[in-house]
Amino acid sequence: MARRLLRRFLHTAVICAVVATSVFVLMQFAPGDPFATALDGPDVPPSVRAEWRARYGLDLPPTERFVRWGIALARGQLGYAASRRQPVVDVVADALPRTLLLVGTALLLGFAAGVWIALLQTRHHRRWQDRVLGACTLVGVAVPEFLLALVAMTWLGARWHIFPVAGIGSLGDAAGWPLWERMIDLAWHLALPAGVLALAVASRVARHQRAALLGVMREDFIRTARAKGLGEWDVLRRHALPNAIGPVIALLGLALPSLVGGAVLVERIFGWPGMGQTLFDALLARDYPLVVAAVLVATLLAVVARTVTDAIANAVAPRRATGAM
Amino acid sequence: MTALLEVRDLSVEYTARDANAPRAVRAVDGVSLDVQRGETLALVGESGSGKTSLGRAILRLVPAAAGSVQFDGTDVLALSHDALKAFRRRAQVVFQDPKASLDPRMCVGDIVREGIDIHALAPREAGDLRVAHLLEEVGLSARDAHRFPHEFSGGERQRIAIARALAVEPVFLVLDEAVSALDVLVRAQVLDLLATLQATRGLTYLFIAHDFAVVERIATRVAVMQRGRIVECAPTASLFSAPASPAAQALLAAIPRIPW
Amino acid sequence: MTTGAWHHLRNDAGARAAAAVLAAAAACAVLAPALAPYDPTIQPDPVALRLLAPSWQHPLGTDPFSRDVFSRMLHGARVSLGVAAGAMLLSVTLGTALGALAAVMGGWVDTAVASLVDVLIAMPRLLVVIALVATFGTLSPWWLVVLIGGSGWLTTARIVRAEFRDHLQREYVVAAVALGASRWRIIRRHLLPAVAPQIAITAALALAAVIPLEAALSFVGFGIQPPLPSWGNIILDGVDYLTSAWWMVVFPVGAVTITVGSALVLADRMRVAVGGEEHEP
Amino acid sequence: MINSAVRPAAAAVVAVLIVLSAACRGADTGPSGGVLVVSVGADANSIFPPFGVGTQDRVVSELLYDKLADIGPSLNTIGDIGFEPKLARSWEWSRDSLTITFHLDPRARWHDGRPVTSADVQYAFRVWTDSAVGVAQRVALSSIDSISAPDALTARVHFRERTPAQFYALVYTLVPLPAHRFAAIADTALRDAPEVRAPIGSGPFRFVSWTPRARLELAANGAYYTGRPRLDGVVFVVAAQGATVAARLLAGEADFLEQLAPPDFAQLPADGSVRAQPYGGFDYGFVQFNLRDAANPLAPHALFGERAMRRALTMAVNRTTLVRSVFDTLGRPAIGPFSRTQWTADTTLRGIPFDSAGAAHVLDSLGWRDANGDGVRERNGRPLAFSLLVPASSRVRQTAAVLLQAQLKAVGVRVNIDQVDFNAWLDRAQRGAFDALVGAVRTSPSPRGVRDLWGTPGPGRGAQNWGQWSNATFDAQVDSALAATSTDAVRAHFRVAYQSAIDDAPAIWLYEPRLFAGVHRRLSVRALRPDAWWSGVASWSIDPAQRLPRDRRAATTP
Amino acid sequence: MSPLLAICGLSVDAAGARGTPSTPILRDISFGMRPGETVGLLGASGSGKTSLALAVLGLLPPALRAHGAIHFDGHEMLSASRGARRTLRGRRVAMVFQEPLSALNPRMRIGAQVAEVALAHGEHNTQRAARTALDMLARAGLTDAEDQARRLPHELSGGERQRVLLAMAMLLAPALLIADEPTSSLDVTVQAQVLALLRAEQRQHGMALLLVSHDLSVIATTCERTLVLHDGRLVEDVPTRQLIVAPEHPQARALVAAVRRGPPPLEHGT
């Protein structure tokens, strides 16, 4: 067990090193620097620009910068986010919990809803319930997320005032509210962005889960369960679902990066400053310490998510012993 | 005359992907056996006893961990790429599950002529003729060449598999549970076919089975395998009348006898 | 694809409808110059004729530049579907090649490919493409194909690798090995045909993933350069007018949704045709 | 950009609002209380005055910090005419104009209660000019030799040379900083010091909290020396997506939006809860030609090296149509290298009129003819085509580029739009790696900026003249204008300079947007100063009858 | 004695794909079984044996349509409601399947799988159900049942799995047990043990047994009467002994001959 963890850790470390290096190299080719906007003024002489570049070591040759940066990174120093005028750690510490909350909520809600939809569809396979839900999930997968977000923001937020248009919490004396009121306020602000993402997740999960359930429903042990005299819901819940949910969980782990990618636009539209938006802004600002850090965090998250989902998937559905050798 | 096949101290290992650490499992453990030209050596054992691994290791379909395999005087385990290809013309295999061993996307003609093409044994038309011949030899019709495996019954599929093996004109066949998956009715027919082919083509068989019932009819000698080792090897008649090892005795006792 | 699956697919109303939609979209793309009533870049009067609601002259209305949205949609299909198809072909080819290589070669090649997949799969594709576009500056549609295609081969590679490894264990492949078939022959004659349906499914899924990606890329301003129309940049042109000029958004989004939906349905039906979807009451 | 159906209505609304806003201007007394919520599209980067660069940086830092004196409503930048006292209650000039003595308001306090002293002015000067700190606008103070402090409330500024705008440059740039708080921090460490993220200022609002990229909160400074602001606080809420920024205002979640985009007008609520308030702006947009070859800066550009070509292209562009299409009635064609809001602006200059036939004729005479019938002119087999560099960050500029592309296509010129992200755009612009670009500037009230934008690149000028245009008349007249001390003389010199720029066509002067702030009904605002809409926030008020839960907050007096 | 099971004119068709005619799987089958009777159903693969077994339980795949009548225990199975059929399954009629590995839920502990039968039929006390299941597992010959009950199917050997399936089927002492090729996927040595267990249980509880197999030797040792199915038709319905001695139908004759023949006279090599 310890050896496996060690292997996993080493594997992750190698992945991170590769990712960090490639991002660093890539950023060297990108035109511009983090101060472009700051130094874009008629009264900024070239000498100031040179000073700024020197301050952040941008005037060093790339190889030396790479070595310095690599050493610092290995020590766990993520550096300074020049475009944000904050240490990278602070930026990440600020944005990461928000993304985790958003993506986590979307994931849980979407997963639960998706599984539930799939169960309903399987129960009523090839009847109208199945078809209607199938059409809904199809649309949910096919419509671009950013459009859903815009529509939700425009109508549910701006037009009908059901949810806040954007933001991470209410203004005014919200800071002085009791904890539960602040939680409700947070949930209320989270509703639209998390809802849009959850819709996308639910659609994908439902489609995969339905296919997986139908696959399992053809297995012999389902016939055994029916021969025992179990009702259809029991057969589905007790026998089919536990055997069909593993791959869907594993798939969800794989799909996490794309969810984060979709979250970029959703975060942007709902003014939810999380990692996606941070990374996007950092990319545009050529703030490579921040880009590298954000990508590393995303990579680590993805790896962790995959490890966790794989573990869950394994625990939920232990690999069946393969017949002969 | 020396034996066609001489196996000495052959071992096969697998890496079992267990929950924790990968560990080596010895499926075949130092087996030695000879197969004489023209005979049928039956290899019998319960599932998991290592008989399939042994058969595949002899044909170099799985790597051997130790030991040697001499086929007609050459060391099979040391063959170069080209020599291995030549060896594959002489030694062929028929598997247990006729459904899994035939490519479902190829028509029967293509399946049977694959060996002919690989070894460039015949040009296009001559090849077709040979395929037709082979199909008739195993009890099918030349017209079946254009049909697909799923259109055939289990017994017919096994005939196709036999035809495929015979297409390269081997002298040695490993019949890996070749009749185990068949109905009793079909099983008898295929066994008859195998016997006929052996007689007409002078083939040598290594007949792998888990059941004494089938072995009784076809084998010259029987080797009983248990946990990777050969525990008994004797001519069929003597083994059936006086099994020495407990494994052989158990197998013999398990043959269902109809109370006539 | 086995004949059975093919037959099943051809008799499947859903698959036929999805294929018909995709074919129609492709036909629009190919025949755009003949079908489009106007030049998609012509701006007759960007003051008086801008943002006209759908009418007989302009069945899908006009955009903020007074260009005919219908004509732009048709030409946009050319660009969007062209990029999507190109990227899909590239990613599926790349994925198949790498997946097959990993499965057949095994050893360090397998480890290398698997690690590469592990690394790349951890990164959000949209951001990777944005980063690359930002690095290279402006991109022609060809480069977009390369970028999007080059970042999308992971799924195919994973699936092809797994399927290849599965089939390599099967007796019909072992039988071919026993007949003396070379690796290349086994790949070509047995494995590729066996895995072809799975590849076709990943191709349909890749198509379904790429079309919205182009739209999202356009939405953040990194897509196809104007004046070339693509569904993505038609949406971008209209997104500021979501409430006042719905036709600018509804039609391109509808086109994206229907095309993506059809690709997904096709993938579904193929999966059913290959694996069978039978459910006992 | 307004849907044609609602355009007349919008025009009427605009007319009514201008009247309304004029009416509001008089209301100096009004209720106090309430929190102003401003919806913004970009968060501040630094709210510490020396490090501020973007507009939002200035907005926040100028609410937090007072200047010595502020520019008056006339926006004059010559001498000190019209300047209003702030931290400096009064000032006097030495006879040679090389020394200005400021008398600080004895009531002025930092937010922590300490008085504002002349040492704070001295410290600020050190921060601005020390290269170890690296303030970008250092050069604006280059004419100042030193600042002395005869006593705690007197700061004496010594200039090296006299310039007409020396007062403006000083008070507009240099903001007194709390020396007692920062002096202990080494200059090199100041930039990244955590203190600068939660600064202590002297202005009408004090810092409360800042959640980067989400919200920044200020509260009324109860001890403000000219009286507590009427508002209890100001909150900036940030969203990166333009649609969201507007939606917040339209949904009533924010009270103010600096600039409504043309599409927003179509969405103004029918109940009139949000109005559009016009104010002048200092923006203008243009297509800048690169007169040097993109690959070889020593060689002239194959197309734009020729004056006739630049003029022909200018002639081919119908700017009226372009502006109407981009801005509807919310913009005007630009005249030359200036904005109409600048006091040096001259609306009587001769522009190059739109004349596509004339443009075609000139192109013909230059030898550019469409010989192969593909719709694009060629000369010696080379097509008349160039690429137009556009930043992906600006919808207006992208739209303008697309319109321009179509207009030039009509005279046989092919424009390839090269749309890149802002950073890459700026990088290529600065390196001169472009044929032409769509640029836009927001100038300061001072006319000095024109020298950096359009003066021949060289010492002291042309820092942002990416097109490398060079015109001796222009340079000489601008220099004379900036040296002149009478406003009439300044105007006269600029008139000649502007005309030479227009005639020489280093750029196609495209548009000048009219700015319209979005203001919620419950908010009463004073007139918005074109260079700084926030300058009067301290006197804005919120209707007590329309208070919202978000207006409730703890007492703001420290 | 009134029959426990009476099948009259049962036909099963596979609904063809659109347009194509449906293929008959079973044609006009009629036979009956008395309580406690042991009947063998003999036929080559593809003769429709499994479909017949599934039809009795009402578990035919949706693509298959049954006509005719199946009277079991006072119910008409084909027209009975889902609920009615459900309450009969597992309690009055149970089935043992061919592949014990795939017939067991791979991720449910076997004790729970057995106990589930009781829980599905009115037992609400989970502990009591678990205890019943343990007793039954022990009776089915599972050594160390308490320990084994906590395992997952893949941790058991083939013979043990088949015992679990048998325990599951026998738990509520059904009136009719249908065993579909219960031994054909097992090792020969285990086959004999499972068959012996089946016979013992049948005798002890006096239940009726329908044993489906392609191998006459399996049926001959267990069943009083044998039905021979060929190509969807019932071609023989005779006492087993009579079938062995004098098979009438050619197919029956072939099936008997297949197990009867001794070693063939082979000429080995030359």
Query: With an 8 Å Cβ cutoff, are E91 and A224 in contact?
Result: no
Contacts of A271 in chain D (CB under 8 A): 214, 237-241, 244, 248
pLDDT > 90 in chain C, percent:
41
Cα-flanking dihedrals φ and ψ of residue A36, to 5°?
-50, -50
Residue B169 to residue B172: CA distance in whole angstroms: 9
Pair (D490, D521) in one structural domain: no
Query: With an 8 Å Cβ cutoff, are B184 and E261 in contact?
Result: no
CATH number at residue D85: 3.90.76.10
- Check if C175 contacts B (Cβ < 8 Å): yes
Averaged over D458-474, what is the pLDDT?
88
- Per residue in C81-104, pLDDT tens? 999 999 999 999 999 999 999 999
Residue E51 to residue E61: CA distance in whole angstroms: 9
Whether domain C3-41+54-278 has CATH 3.20.20.70: the reply is no
D3 Cβ contact partners less than 8 Å away, ≥ 6 residues apart: C51, C241, C244, C245, D266
Residue E208 to residue E93: CA distance in whole angstroms: 9
Q: What is the pLDDT of residue D14?
A: 42
Confidence of residue D558 (pLDDT cuts 50, 70, 90): very low
Confidence of residue C174 (pLDDT cuts 50, 70, 90): very high
| Nearest residue to A267 (alpha-carbon basis) of A153, A99, A101 | A99
CA C82 vs CA C127, C149, C216: distances in Å: 22, 12, 16
Query: With an 8 Å Cβ cutoff, are E268 and B255 in contact?
Result: no
Query: With an 8 Å Cβ cutoff, are A229 and E59 in contact?
Result: no
3-state secondary structure of C281: coil
Pair (D350, D450) in one structural domain: yes
Examine the pLDDT at E215 and tell me if it is beyond 90: no
* Chain A to chain B Cβ contacts (< 8 Å): 13
3-state secondary structure of A41: coil
Give the 3-state secondary structure of C182-200: CHHHHHHHHHHHHHHHHHH
Give residue A210's identity as a one-letter amino acid code.
R
Q: What is the pLDDT of residue A319?
A: 47
Answer yes or no: are the C-beta atoms of D519 and D277 closer than 8 Å. yes
CA A17 vs CA A11, A280, C154, D418: distances in Å: 10, 21, 20, 35
Q: Which residue of chain A has the CA closest to D232?
A: A172
Residue A237 carries which DSSP code? I
Q: At CB < 8 A and 24+ separation, what contacts does C246-253 make? A: C247/C53, C247/C54, C247/C60, C247/C61, C247/C69, C248/C51, C248/C61, C248/C63, C248/C64, C248/C69, C249/A147, C251/C60, C251/C69, C251/C73, C252/C73, C252/C76, C252/C215, C253/A143, C253/A144, C253/A147
Q: Do chains E and D touch (3 or more CB pairs under 8 A)?
A: no
Token pair recorded at residue A74: 């290995």
Query: With an 8 Å Cβ cutoff, are A283 and C219 in contact?
Result: no
- Pick C261's closest partner by Cβ from A122, A139, A211: A139
- Check if E264 contacts B (Cβ < 8 Å): yes
Pair (D352, D437) in one structural domain: yes
CATH number at residue D260: 3.40.190.10
Shortest Cα distance, chain D CAs vs residue C163, angstroms: 42
Half-sphere exposure of residue D499, counting CA atoms within 13 Å on the CB side? 12
Q: Which residue of chain A has the CA closest to E84?
A: A229
Shortest Cα distance, chain A CAs vs residue D250, angstroms: 7
Contacts of A44 in chain D (CB under 8 A): 136-137, 139, 463
- Pick E255's closest partner by Cβ from B185, B254, B259: B185
- The total domain count for chain D is 3
Cis upstream peptide for C227 (omega within 30°): yes
Pair (D273, D291) in one structural domain: no
Pair (D481, D353) in one structural domain: yes
Pair (D148, D180) in one structural domain: yes
Answer yes or no: are the C-beta atoms of B95 and B101 closer than 8 Å. yes
Test the B interface: residue of A3, A6, A322, A325 with most B CBs within 10 Å: A325
Q: What is the pLDDT of residue C252?
A: 92
Lowest-confidence region among A138-142, A155-159, C34-38, C271-275: C271-275
Q: What is the pLDDT of residue A121?
A: 95
Averaged over D6-25, what is the pLDDT?
41
Q: What is the pLDDT of residue C2?
A: 56
Q: What is the pLDDT of residue C223?
A: 83
* Chain B to chain C Cβ contacts (< 8 Å): 63
- Check if D109 contacts C (Cβ < 8 Å): no
Burial class (CB in 10 A: 0-12, 13-18, 19+), C248: buried
Query: With an 8 Å Cβ cutoff, are E106 and A225 in contact?
Result: no
Q: A80-81 and D88-93 as β-strands: parallel, antiparallel, unpaired?
A: unpaired
Domain of residue D444 covers 283-513
Residue D369 to residue D542: CA distance in whole angstroms: 64
- Pick E220's closest partner by Cβ from B39, B255, B258: B258
- Per residue in A278-304, pLDDT tens? 888 888 888 888 888 888 888 888 888
Answer yes or no: are the C-beta atoms of C273 and C9 closer than 8 Å. yes
Pair (D339, D474) in one structural domain: yes
- Per residue in E42-66, pLDDT tens? 988 878 888 999 999 988 888 888 8
Q: Which residue of chain C has the CA closest to A18?
A: C119
CA C200 vs CA C19, C121, C168, C205, C268: distances in Å: 13, 21, 20, 9, 11
Query: With an 8 Å Cβ cutoff, are A243 and E105 in contact?
Result: yes
Q: Which of residues 2-31 of C touch E (CB under 8 A)?
A: 8, 11
Token pair recorded at residue E261: 């023949």
Pair (D117, D263) in one structural domain: no
Q: Is residue D144 in some structural domain?
A: yes
- Per residue in E65-116, pLDDT tens? 888 999 998 888 888 888 888 999 999 999 998 888 889 998 899 999 999 9
Kindly give the residue spans of alpha helices, DSSP state H, lying in A75-124.
Answer: 88-123
Shortest Cα distance, chain C CAs vs residue A48, angstroms: 25
Q: pTM value?
A: 0.88
Pair (D310, D399) in one structural domain: yes
Pair (D112, D150) in one structural domain: yes
- Check if A189 contacts D (Cβ < 8 Å): no
- Per residue in A31-41, pLDDT tens? 777 777 667 66
Instruction: Give the bridge partners for E95, in sequence order.
Output: E178
Query: With an 8 Å Cβ cutoff, are E18 and C281 in contact?
Result: no
Q: Is residue D35 in some structural domain?
A: no
A65 Cβ contact partners less than 8 Å away, ≥ 6 residues apart: A57, A58
Residue D105 to residue D111: CA distance in whole angstroms: 15
- Per residue in D226-277, pLDDT tens? 999 999 999 999 998 888 999 999 999 999 999 998 888 888 888 889 999 9
- Check if C52 contacts D (Cβ < 8 Å): yes
Kindly give the residue spans of alpha helices, DSSP state H, lying in E27-157.
Answer: 49-57, 82-88, 110-120, 126-139, 145-148
Q: Is the sign of the CA dihedral A12, A18, A21, A22 positive or negative? A: negative
Tell me what the pLDDT averaged over chain D comes to.
87
Pair (D371, D520) in one structural domain: no
Q: What is the pLDDT of residue D233?
A: 92
Answer yes or no: are the C-beta atoms of D75 and A211 closer than 8 Å. no
Token pair recorded at residue E168: 């599951």
- Pick B185's closest partner by Cβ from E191, E220, E254: E254
Q: Is residue D62 in some structural domain?
A: no
Residue A267 to residue A196: CA distance in whole angstroms: 11
Q: Do chains A and D touch (3 or more CB pairs under 8 A)?
A: yes
Averaged pLDDT, groups of 10, chain B, 260 residues long: 87 71 79 92 88 92 91 90 92 88 90 92 88 92 90 90 94 90 84 92 92 84 92 90 88 71
Residue D457 to residue D470: CA distance in whole angstroms: 7
Pair (D439, D479) in one structural domain: yes
Query: With an 8 Å Cβ cutoff, are E63 and C281 in contact?
Result: no
Shortest Cα distance, chain E CAs vs residue B109, angstroms: 25
- Check if D241 contacts C (Cβ < 8 Å): no
Residue C69 to residue C59: CA distance in whole angstroms: 8
What DSSP line would sit under D351-375, residue for residue?
Answer: -----HHHHHHHHHHTT-B--SSSS
Contacts of A325 in chain B (CB under 8 A): 14, 25, 27, 48, 52-53
Q: Is residue D59 in some structural domain?
A: no
Q: What is the pLDDT of residue E16?
A: 64
Question: Hey, what domains does chain A have and what are their CATH numbers?
Answer: 2-86 (no CATH), 89-324 (1.10.3720.10)
- Check if D427 contacts C (Cβ < 8 Å): no
Domain boundaries, given as residue ranges, for chain C: 3-41+54-278
Contacts of C243 in chain A (CB under 8 A): 154, 159
Q: Which of residues 216-275 of C touch A (CB under 8 A)?
A: 216, 219-220, 235, 239, 242-243, 249, 253, 256-258, 260-261, 264-265, 268, 271, 275
Angular region, A231: left φ>0, alpha ψ -120 to 50, beta rest? beta
Q: What is the pLDDT of residue C92?
A: 95
Burial class (CB in 10 A: 0-12, 13-18, 19+), E79: exposed
Contacts of C65 in chain D (CB under 8 A): 325, 399, 402-403, 406
